[in-house]
């Protein structure tokens, strides 16, 4: 699993009290909590998935959290994007999120990237973080993140949701066999208009909390190096059926990114058109 780049941090008395329920876990302890405080996560998207991740990872004491978003808070966001508040309508989402996290946990440093990721800036932004969490709502950015994380050697925890259904997996194909990448499962983005976005098809607000919380757990597991990684498995959740299903996903030897004869050796295919 991913190991933080920063050294372990000695805990203060205040931190021992704040993170006491983590510290009493055998799998975490004081050493693990110090590891979290010395680690960093990039959350792409401060929306439905990013909002609960921002809150839970900040509450967990992840020491440095980057958030990428170029949008502003809209009233329609507040049904699910719980990191934002009514008073923040009209503010940049990255600023709204940073202010909320500062109030929640002063241990955490937030780096606001008010921009849209593209092939020109993604590698530089990724380079400063240990783990990347995909909370985006469009396929172009999702595929860009997968490809960039592969080239940058970064673990990617990715979730998606629509209406009453969500899915989640972890991708770290840069580690080699048997780890697949996102393209091993979904080769190319679907044609425009085939799959509606949440703004077009709707989404149950609490589903965002469920999937973002599950995503946060997987990020923390990767940072701490505990438990079984979701790499090689796709978790699917149906809120209407109250059912979880996990399917195995395998590395595709013909994958255009991480396969035996890759067609993509850099991000130039994301610059086309």
Set 149, 198, 255, 258: catalytic member: 198
* Residues 6 or more apart in contact with residue 36 via CB below 8 angstroms: 4, 22, 60, 61, 62, 63, 220, 223, 224
Cβ contact 162:195 at 8 Å = yes
Q: Which residues touch 22 (CB under 8 Å, ≥6 apart)?
A: 28, 32, 33, 36, 60, 61
Query: C-alpha distances in angstroms, 266 versus 2, 7, 120, 135, 252?
Result: 23, 31, 11, 23, 19
Closest CA to 141 of 81, 176, 182, 108: 182
Verify whether residue 184 is a known catalytic residue. Answer: no
Q: Contact 103/79 with Cβ under 8 angstroms?
A: no
Task: Decide: helix, strand or coil at residue 117.
Answer: coil
- Rounded distance, CA 89 to CA 102, Å? 18
Please tell me the number of Cα atoms within 13 Å of 109 on its side-chain side. Answer: 9
Got the DSSP string for 168-197? EEEE-GGG-TT---HHHHS-SPPPTTSS--
Phi, psi values for residue 172, rounded to 5°: -145, 55
Residues assigned a catalytic role = 198
């Amino acid at each position: 699993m991913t190991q933080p780049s920063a050294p372990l941090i000695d805990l203060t008395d205040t931190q021992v009290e704040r993170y006491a329920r983590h510290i009493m876990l055998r799998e975490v302890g004081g050493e693990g909590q110090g590891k979290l405080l010395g680690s960093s996560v990039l959350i792409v998207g401060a929306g439905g998935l990013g909002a609960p991740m921002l809150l839970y990872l900040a509450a967990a004491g992840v020491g440095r959290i980057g958030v990428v978003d170029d949008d502003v808070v809209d009233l329609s966001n507040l049904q699910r994007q719980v990191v934002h508040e009514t008073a923040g309508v009209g503010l940049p989402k990255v600023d709204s999120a940073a202010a909320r996290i500062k109030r929640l946990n002063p241990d955490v440093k937030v780096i606001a990237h008010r921009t849209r990721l593209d092939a020109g800036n993604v590698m530089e932004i990724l380079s400063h973080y240990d783990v990347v969490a995909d909370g985006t709502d469009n396929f172009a950015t999702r595929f860009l993140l997968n490809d960039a994380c592969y080239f940058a050697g970064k673990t990617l925890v990715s979730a998606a949701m629509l209406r009453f259904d969500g899915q989640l997996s972890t991708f770290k194909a840069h580690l080699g066999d048997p780890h697949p990448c996102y393209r091993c499962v979904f080769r190319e983005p679907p044609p425009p208009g085939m799959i509606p976005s949440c703004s077009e098809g709707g989404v149950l607000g609490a589903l965002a909390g469920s999937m973002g919380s599950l995503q946060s757990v997987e990020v923390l597991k990767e940072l701490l190096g505990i438990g079984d990684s979701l790499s090689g498995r796709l978790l699917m959740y149906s809120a209407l059926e109250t059912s979880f299903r996990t399917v195995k996903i395998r590395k595709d030897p013909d994958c255009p990114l991480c396969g035996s004869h890759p067609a993509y050796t850099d991000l130039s295919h994301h610059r086309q058109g």
